[in-house]
Amino acid sequence: MIFLFKRLMPKYSVIGYLADASQVLSISRETLQHVSRYRQFAPWASEAGGQLFGTINAAKVCVTEASGPYAGDERSRHQYRSSPTAAQRAIEDRHKRGLLYLGEWHTHAEDYPSASGFDDDAMRSLIANSQLNSNALLMMIVGRARSAEGLAVWSVSSESARQWILSAELAET
């Protein structure tokens, strides 16, 4: 059983590009392993989610860590909302370690995830109601398919949602 569980964990990281920008997205293997634990394989499994952390500069967005889910989240088969207090605590904790809050992640009970209208609205209201340094946040949706096809990532701002083109990269170790 432990062997099987390990086998399902990604051994790769993910690199992303936008069609109209030179900035690169990198999602660490650790981040992928964290979110993969919550993929909705079981027919009764609820959505899970949390926050994404890392570093950002003009050339590269690096997602190095994911947090959540938390006790007190709102979770159902087709909806997820983080407990605001738990999310805030996670953000402050990572901030002390020099990691920036970069956005949100949650799972979908579908192989190849697409964003629901609810997801777009939730991201826009998050951006409108938060005091962020940046005006865009990442939204990552984790589907059931393995490899990069099971992931979808957008950069969401108040004006637009741009999807990253993802590919898997073998991790060094």
Nearest to 148 by CA among 6, 17, 3: 17
DSSP letter for 61, please.
E
Q: Tell me: does residue 73 bind Zn ion (CB under 5 A).
A: no
Q: How far apart, in whole angstroms, are the C-alpha atoms of residue 5 and residue 7?
A: 5
Q: How far is the CB of 98 from Zn ion (least distance, A)?
A: 30
Q: Is 119 in the site for Zn ion (CB under 5 A)?
A: yes
Taking Cα atoms as reference points, which of 101, 89, 86, 104 lies closest to residue 55? 101
The overall longest dimension of the chain from CA atoms, in Å, is 46
CB of 27 to Zn ion, least distance (A): 18
E-assigned strand segments in 57-135: 60-66, 74-76, 79-81, 100-107
CB of 116 vs Zn ion, minimal distance in Å: 5
Residue among 116 and 167 whose Cβ is closer to Zn ion: 116
Q: Least distance in Å: CB of 135 to Zn ion?
A: 22
Is 104 an interacting residue with respect to Zn ion (CB under 5 A)?
A: no
Q: Which is nearer to Zn ion, 73 or 119 (CB)?
A: 119
The residues that touch Zn ion, with contacts defined as CB under 5 A, are: 116, 119
